[in-house]
Amino acid sequence: MARVWWLSWIFVRVQGDGEFLVTSPSPDVSSVSSVEPTSGYIGGCNPFQGVRYLRISNGREIPRWLCSASWDIYEVELTDSTGARLAPSASTMTGVSDDHPVSNVVDGDRSSFHAGDWDIGLGCSCWDDSKIGSQQVDLDLGTLTQVARIVIVQGGDTDPWSVGNLRIECGDMSMAFDPAVMQFEISRAVTTIECTAQGCRAELSTPYLDICGACRCGTLTAVGLALLALLFG
Ligand SMILES: [Ca+2]
């Protein structure tokens, strides 16, 4: 994947599109917009109040230029209020790409990942808001459980299959989800969500990067799209 990512940035430069703010083989953190890690409460539901299910989904797009792109989520780690690590099962109703099963989200290995259905098309070139939440992972704790910490692991700031905005929904024993959704900006590396009775706060290991906001995919020519398809499938 690293080679493909590098090639993608080179290709962007070949297009000669001056509107691209990122012009190096890997994202230049200084040239894309960023915000400080969230300091206040996230809002939405609070899994500290007790949940059986947590639904994790994409809040926005991923910085890819083809529609055959899905989000790669490496690991979700849950901890209860005593500090004990929880062991949920994982499933999805939105599809799986070959060789990257949803179980990889909870296998205890931060290097293995789950890839969603490519057909959903989460790349910024074909993004629209109807795709918010279109790639989901459902975690089942088996019984109502007080969740005090959620750690979301992605591939890092140079991973073009990462999201910068995440949704978390809280489900009860009957898998009915609270309409109050947690939606917030996250790190493309590791995001730790700490929850208490007062609410949840997020700590980002690297600042939020709005990579897609810095690209102008609509300016790619038909020839360019054909070349991208040839290079990246
Ligand atoms: Ca994993």
Kind plus residue range of the DSSP H or E element containing 58 = strand 51-58
CA distance 172 to 42: 20
Q: Where are the domains of the chain?
A: 35-213
Residue with token string 């609070």: 46
Three-state secondary structure call for residue 4:
helix
- Residue 98 is predicted with a pLDDT of 81
Please check whether residue 216 is in contact with residue 17, taking contact to mean a CB–CB distance below 8 angstroms.
yes
Q: What is the pLDDT of residue 211?
A: 82
Q: How does strand 147-153 pair with strand 75-80?
A: antiparallel
3-class secondary-structure state, position 2? helix
**By the 8 A CB rule, do 121 and 81 touch?**
no
- Confidence (pLDDT) at 34: 42
Cα(17) to centroid(ligand 1), Å: 37
57 pairs with which residues across the strands? 136, 167
Query: Distance from the CA of 109 to the center of ligand 1, in angstroms?
Result: 4
Which residues, other chains included, contact 151 with Cβ-Cβ below 8 Å and sequence gap of 6+? 75, 76, 77, 78, 79, 190, 191, 192, 193
Q: For position 140, what pLDDT does the model report? A: 98
Question: Are the beta carbons of 164 and 211 closer than 8 angstroms?
Answer: yes
55 CA from centroid of ligand 1 (Å): 17
Cα separation, 17 vs 219, in Å, equals 7
Compute, in angstroms, the gap from residue 154 CA to the centroid of ligand 1: 9
CA distance 166 to 123: 15
Which residue blocks in the chain are alpha helix, DSSP H?
2-14, 222-232
What are phi and psi for residue 52, nearest 5 degrees?
-100, -40
Question: What is the distance in A from the centroid of ligand 1 to the CA of 100?
Answer: 10
What's the 155 CA to ligand 1 centre distance in angstroms? Answer: 11
Q: Model's pTM, two decimal places?
A: 0.78
What pLDDT score does 214 carry?
54
Task: Give residue 135 CA to ligand 1 midpoint distance, Å.
Answer: 17
Interval between CA 74 and ligand 1 midpoint (Å): 5
Six-digit token string for 125: 């070139």
Q: Are 30 and 132 in contact (CB under 8 A)?
A: no
In this structure, what token pair is assigned to residue 130? 């109807």
pLDDT for the residue numbered 49: 97
- Quick one: pLDDT at residue 139? 98
Closest by Cα among 51, 53, 22, 17 to 157: 22
Q: Residues 180, 183, 85, 77: is their CA dihedral positive or negative? A: positive
Mean per-residue pLDDT pooled into runs of 10, the chain (233 residues)? 40 26 31 47 97 98 89 98 97 94 98 95 92 98 98 96 97 98 98 97 96 57 47 42
Contact 180, 55 (CB under 8 A): no
